[in-house]
A and B are shown apart, each in its own frame.
Chain A
């Protein structure tokens, strides 16, 4: 019974206080604005860069839209440069202050090569089979590379 009364009392007091401060603790207007994405001079996506990235990533842009998508992703990322990070160390892991679990150096599993090899499309005996190696990807004639030298 008295609990109910206390709650009712708290309710009134808090309500009254808020009435005096006349505002909820939640800000009623946005506290920041979205900045327009700008293209920094040195982060321009060039045809050479596109070719380089496709070889590294082993995926292609497919079309002009893919190239624009990268440019806009880079422009978006450029907002980071508004933050002052002088003297700040990079954060690799949020568990950096804890010791990582290291298990004992004992064999605890194995003998599963047969099961694992079953998942591959092409095997010979106990080996995965790959086509001939050390052959660079051929130069492509891509639509989005045909304007080589010009701005994209």
Chain B
């Protein structure tokens, strides 16, 4: 059995069955045993021990801070962390130590969370596989699961030389793997076009992209300002709700967070879906959707109907252009955002002193990978004086049509939308890298980026396993600032599916993983 949920751990800490230092040590040794997954860029061993010790003191005095006190968490390496290196998986920021904490990181720490480390990602979050990091690709732990190994043991696809591993999804692949493999209870990701939901789906965990404006982005190194949101990855919907309660709300340091107070909520165990109207956007049967995902999607629609919900087919007519529109707006904002990296104030600086321009140019050549450079160049192309209206303004207009599609559907009485999260299960690494990053992102983000375009919340919930034994997720998209309703439906669904979490294959070199996991479980 894979580790407990945050709620269970918090309860165990409260009744003294578990203490924070013990919990920290368990997670740390699991991080070390699963090093080969490459989920962490930087393990904050000493800082975390200090935090766990503080938490232990508070528990001993009977004064824990909140539900997160003593809980090991991980944070994607594009959130600024004071005194802990923050690299964005790029040469450009290697060695950069931020002088402050991102607001969301500070909020976790204020609740007593133990920050185990910073997780791996595609450079600057640009990708959908977590394969484009200067620290190497992230491996999906399901590649080493009983479920995957057993289903494929007869076929030649399982090689002994470990070349058959599948991608984690991205760009928050490290965070998804950290949660999925049990090395922490909750992880922060970021979500610009699906970067939290995509890896969550491929790694069999829950991933929430909150409404744009609900959670502060102060200290999140920006990619696309009009779409970026911090994401939450956890093992179950209840845990996501708990963490959202901690993170959500206005931040004076981020003027795009709304000022309405956020009502924290807990989800009931018995959820009634009879008064619910679920929309099935027909355009989400996109070309390339796997038959397995399609049948899972259909079965879920039936399941909802059978439980008494009203299920209706709806249309979001501009869906097919959404990924194109996203591509233009994303590269344009990237081009503008990446201008800050010039070697003068922080980060990498090339050893060229001929002229300022030559130094800038050499710094950026050495600091950015091909993907980042490619997006900067495309973005600059779309922003050229002669192209500005033709591409950039055009994309912004199409964006309004896409956002209006959602408004209309929700106005018609639909409460939430049910869609696939990805086209299919995770691809083997060797297959994935045959196509370039842009093509892959266009395929992988096809169902996820629409929610970023419209600013609405969306959550992926693990729904089942593919015939290869890999996780498949389904996505619920909700109305802006209606997270409670969205998460309720997600929890109802989670209960129906009863997804069986990752079980590591025994005959690995790290064979004591399974042993260790049952130890954690038996502590309860």
Contacts and interface: CB of A to CB of B under 8 A. Distances in A.
A80 B377 contact: no
A14 B308 contact: yes
B301 interface: yes
Given A10-B308, A101-B252, A137 B297 contact: no
Interface string B226-264: 100000000000000000000000101001111100000
B400 A61 contact: no
Contacts of A10: 274, 306-308
A88 B294 contact: no
Interface in A63-119: 66, 69-70, 72-74, 76-77, 79-83, 85, 88-95, 98, 100-103, 112, 115-116, 119
Contacts of A24: 298-299, 301-302
Interface string B379-401: 11110100000010111111111
A138 B287 CA distance: 47
Nearest to A133: B356
Nearest to B250: A101
B355 interface: yes
A33 B373 CA distance: 30
B370 interface: yes
Contacts of B342: 58
Nearest to A65: B370
A92 B397 CA distance: 9
A76 B381 CA distance: 13
Contact of A77 (B285, B301, B308, B324): B324
A43 to B, nearest CB: 8
B285 A27 contact: yes
A26 B370 contact: no
Contacts of B401: 83, 85, 88
B283 A85 contact: no
B336 to A, nearest CB: 11
B257 A79 contact: no
A89 B400 CA distance: 7
B438 A29 contact: no
A112 B379 CA distance: 34
A6 to B, nearest CB: 8
B353 interface: yes
A119 to B, nearest CB: 4
Contacts of B212: 94-95
B81 to A, nearest CB: 14
A135 B274 CA distance: 70
B420 to A, nearest CB: 10
A100 B438 contact: no
Contacts of B436: 69
Nearest to A9: B308
A13 B366 CA distance: 65
Contacts of B364: 58-59
Contacts of A18: 302, 305
Contact of A80 (B250, B331, B345, B391): B391
B289 interface: yes
Contacts of A57: 335, 376-377, 379-380
A11 B286 CA distance: 30
B307 to A, nearest CB: 7
B499 interface: no
A66 B305 contact: no
A40 B187 CA distance: 44
Given A115-B99, A121-B349, A137-B357, A60 B378 contact: no
Nearest to B387: A43
B320 interface: yes
B393 A30 contact: no
B492 to A, nearest CB: 13
Nearest to B259: A101
A28 interface: yes
Contacts of B331: 73
B136 interface: no
B516 interface: no
B198 to A, nearest CB: 19
Nearest to A10: B308
Contact of A119 (B99, B320, B396): B99
Interface in B191-218: 212-213
B306 A15 contact: yes
Given A76-B438, A94-B454, A112-B99, A70 B378 contact: yes
Contact of B455 (A29, A53, A95, A100): A95
B352 interface: yes
B381 A131 contact: no
A54 B187 CA distance: 38
B287 A32 contact: yes
Contact of B252 (A73, A103, A116): A103
B378 A74 contact: yes
Contacts of A26: 280, 285, 294, 297-298, 301, 313
A72 B368 CA distance: 20
B397 A122 contact: no
A39 B20 CA distance: 60
B280 A25 contact: yes
Interface string B261-282: 0000000000000100000101
Contact of B313 (A25, A52, A83, A128): A25
Given A80-B325, A80-B394, A83-B401, A58 B361 contact: yes
A20 interface: no
A95 B258 contact: yes
B343 interface: yes
Interface in A1-50: 7, 10-11, 14-15, 17-18, 24-34, 45, 49
B36 interface: no
A124 interface: no
Given A30-B288, A128-B345, 15 more contacts: A18-B305, A26-B285, A28-B294, A49-B381, A56-B384, A58-B364, A59-B376, A73-B381, A73-B438, A90-B393, A90-B399, A91-B399, A92-B226, A94-B212, A101-B255
5 contacts: A62-B370, A70-B374, A80-B398, A95-B256, A112-B99
